[in-house]
Structure 1
Amino acid sequence: MASTSPDLLFGLRNNFYLGAYQAAINNSNIPNLSTDDTVERDSIVYRSYIALGSYQLVIDEINSSAPTALQAVKLLALYLSGGKDSALSSLREWLSDAAIGNNPFLRLVAGIIYTHELDYNEALKHTNTGGTMELLALNVQIYIKMHRSDYAEKQLKIMQQIDEDHTLTQLANAWLNLAVGGSKIQEAYLIFQDFADKYQMTAMILNGKAVCCMHMGRFDEAETLLLEALNKDAKDAETLANLVVCSLHVGKSASRYLSQLKLSHPEHLLVKRVASAEDNFDRAVQGFA
């Protein structure tokens, strides 16, 4: 029976989901993979490179004869490296192509790109039929961004029915707990703590724990966790953004973290918010000048 064969990509997927991108790349040489598994393996490795900011490597290595899933990853690299317009027009063209438009991986990349564009309704057009755990997890994220935790919860329930112990199910549960807040924050903290006990510590897990601590008013503990995350990845956008918020709460200057965030992630929401606040302030000052 096929169902009892070992899942050769389990460790690789887990590394990717939990933000251990370099480990995913380093441990990707897995023997005896089927053709489908090889494509999935390659897509995870290339997405790990994207997560590390190596967009050009991905663009250079994936050629036009690669399978649809890898073409989609290349499109994501192109989009994130600044080629937004051409990536979006290719995406629209591929999604309308009957032969590949329903490819779950192309739909996932469409969901990721339209979420980046803050066009959540367009994202959901391509993700809401689900079909993979990653698509369901992305739906949870999109609904949380839309402040629809009721819809996010429905998606989470589907994930729990498929595989309650799946890393993405656990992550989605933690995200939803954070969005709902209150007594659920402690539950989210325990999920991240469980990951920390089981797997290698990553910036993503540390940020998860730190955000829970901030919600619970434990800012000193959050700061310690975030500085540890910064040691692992000095350019991680979420770590820097969370450090800005945390520093303000513990009464320390946040300007250095904000400068780093502006330099490495000029498109980050926090950078845009601060810029618009600064513009408003400058306009207000000019009104009095």
Structure 2
Amino acid sequence: MDQFSDSGELFAIHNLFYQGAYKEVLDHSTAGYSDSAQLQCRIYKYRAQIALGSATTVIEELEDTEGQAALAAVKALALFKAGEVESSLEIVQELVETAAEDANVQVLGGIVLYLAGKAEDALLLLSQHEDNLAAVALIVQIRLAQNKIDQAAKEVVLAKRWGQDNMLVNLAEAWVDLSLGGDKYQDAFYIYEELTQTPSSSNARTFVGQAIADIQLGRYPEAEDAINSALERDESSSEVLVNAIILFTLLGRDYSQYEETLKAKDPNNAFLTDYEDKSALFDTCAAQYTSLIVE
């Protein structure tokens, strides 16, 4: 089992974090936890702060991480998110050389390396994991981003042998199914449907996954129900807002309120920047044809 979630102490906060319930992670009580569990909970809380846009606060709290590889890895992620890319990569490189066997170094270092455009370095670090489902999930995401779906699928098959009922394995399988398409869209829908009906897994992120599967299956009314459920749970989530924009575009409805909220909350969101780049390219191409018509 994943060392981050195999104990009763860590199971709840682990699931909350990977559901994207970051505020609940910060409020989660760790009273009575063992020292090792306390450290991992502290890391989840730091990561939740980073995800909520408080990377600078985390950096300040982790001023001295000498001899604490896991916390140094957290600091590297916070630095990267704060725009201090070179400092972040320096820390990760040192950790790769001195503490590559640490599960947090593998996952957090892998995230930093991938975000910095060093996908193969990230995969090399992650490949050193031992029964770490967080590492498996990240490997699957990277392979899917590389359009290496077969390799991603193999990672899921291997992980299911020892982490069958873990939420991360289920999510990774759904990601692969959505990438494979065809009949697999329905399989992905079933996974997300089961998660949304399980109290411990029902959250905005799983409803978004269900909506994506419904969209691919052409079931727009059902997708709208799922997106509305996601909005009810977290109306400020970038992930929810992006998919609301996509769905309401397909439905031919006004999505301006979601776009405005996304721009205010996450102006550098990849969806927005990609949309702006493509809009600019379209305008350039259109201008060329306009000039031909005028001539």
Q: Structure 2 length as normaliser, TM-score?
A: 0.87
Amino acid at match of 1:123: A
Amino acid at match of 2:266: H
**Whole-angstrom CA distance in 1 between matches of 2:275 and 2:203:** 28
- Cα 1:114–1:194 shift into 2, 3 Å: same
Q: Conserved in 2, the CA contact under 8 Å of 1:28 and 1:45?
A: no
SS of the aligned residue for 2:8 comes to coil
Q: Please, what is the CA RMSD of the aligned residues?
A: 2.3
Does residue 29 of structure 1 match 2:12? no
Matched with 2:217 is: 216
Matched with 2:128 is: 129
Amino acid at match of 2:89: L
Amino acid at match of 2:108: V
**Whole-angstrom CA distance in 1 between matches of 2:82 and 2:105:** 18
Matched with 1:120 is: 119
Matched with 1:205 is: 206
Matched with 2:3 is: none
CA deviation digits over 1:252-274, x for unaligned, max 9? 13344334333333333322221
**Whole-angstrom CA distance in 2 between matches of 1:247 and 1:211:** 13
- Cα 1:32–1:273 shift into 2, 3 Å: closer
SS of the aligned residue for 1:9 comes to helix
Amino acid at match of 2:213: C
Q: Conserved in 2, the CA contact under 8 Å of 1:223 and 1:246?
A: yes
CA deviation digits over 1:48-71, x for unaligned, max 9? 222222223322222314621122
* Per-residue deviation, 1:120: 2.2
Q: Conserved in 1, the CA contact under 8 Å of 2:144 and 2:176?
A: yes
SS of the aligned residue for 1:63 comes to coil
Q: Conserved in 1, the CA contact under 8 Å of 2:73 and 2:91?
A: no
**Whole-angstrom CA distance in 2 between matches of 1:72 and 1:152:** 25
- Cα 1:128–1:250 shift into 2, 3 Å: same
**Whole-angstrom CA distance in 2 between matches of 1:265 and 1:6:** 35
Question: How is 1:40-59 mapped onto 2 (pairs within 5 angstroms)?
Answer: 40-59=40-59
**Whole-angstrom CA distance in 1 between matches of 2:125 and 2:269:** 24
Does residue 158 of structure 1 match 2:158? yes
Q: Conserved in 1, the CA contact under 8 Å of 2:101 and 2:129?
A: no
Matched with 1:193 is: 193
SS of the aligned residue for 2:9 comes to coil
Runs of 4+ in structure 1 over 6 Å off:
none
CA deviation digits over 1:201-230, x for unaligned, max 9? 321111111111111111222223223323
Amino acid at match of 2:75: K
**Structure 2 portions without partners, runs of 5+:** 1-5
- Cα 1:139–1:83 shift into 2, 3 Å: same
Amino acid at match of 1:271: L
SS of the aligned residue for 1:157 comes to helix
**Whole-angstrom CA distance in 2 between matches of 1:89 and 1:121:** 17
Q: Structure 1 length as normaliser, TM-score?
A: 0.88
Question: How is 1:6-85 mapped onto 2 (pairs within 5 angstroms)?
Answer: 7-33=8-34, 35-65=35-65, 67-85=68-86
Amino acid at match of 2:109: A
**Whole-angstrom CA distance in 1 between matches of 2:239 and 2:196:** 18
Q: Conserved in 2, the CA contact under 8 Å of 1:220 and 1:250?
A: no
Amino acid at match of 1:175: W
Aligned residue pair count: 283
- Cα 1:159–1:28 shift into 2, 3 Å: farther
Amino acid at match of 1:115: Y
Q: Conserved in 1, the CA contact under 8 Å of 2:76 and 2:109?
A: no
- Cα 1:134–1:65 shift into 2, 3 Å: same
SS of the aligned residue for 2:64 comes to coil
Q: Matched residues, percent identical?
A: 28
Matched with 1:108 is: 107
**Whole-angstrom CA distance in 1 between matches of 2:30 and 2:252:** 47
SS of the aligned residue for 2:83 comes to coil
**Structure 1 portions without partners, runs of 5+:** none
Amino acid at match of 2:110: G
More RCO (CA 8 Å, sep 6+): 2
**Whole-angstrom CA distance in 2 between matches of 1:82 and 1:263:** 19
Amino acid at match of 1:227: N
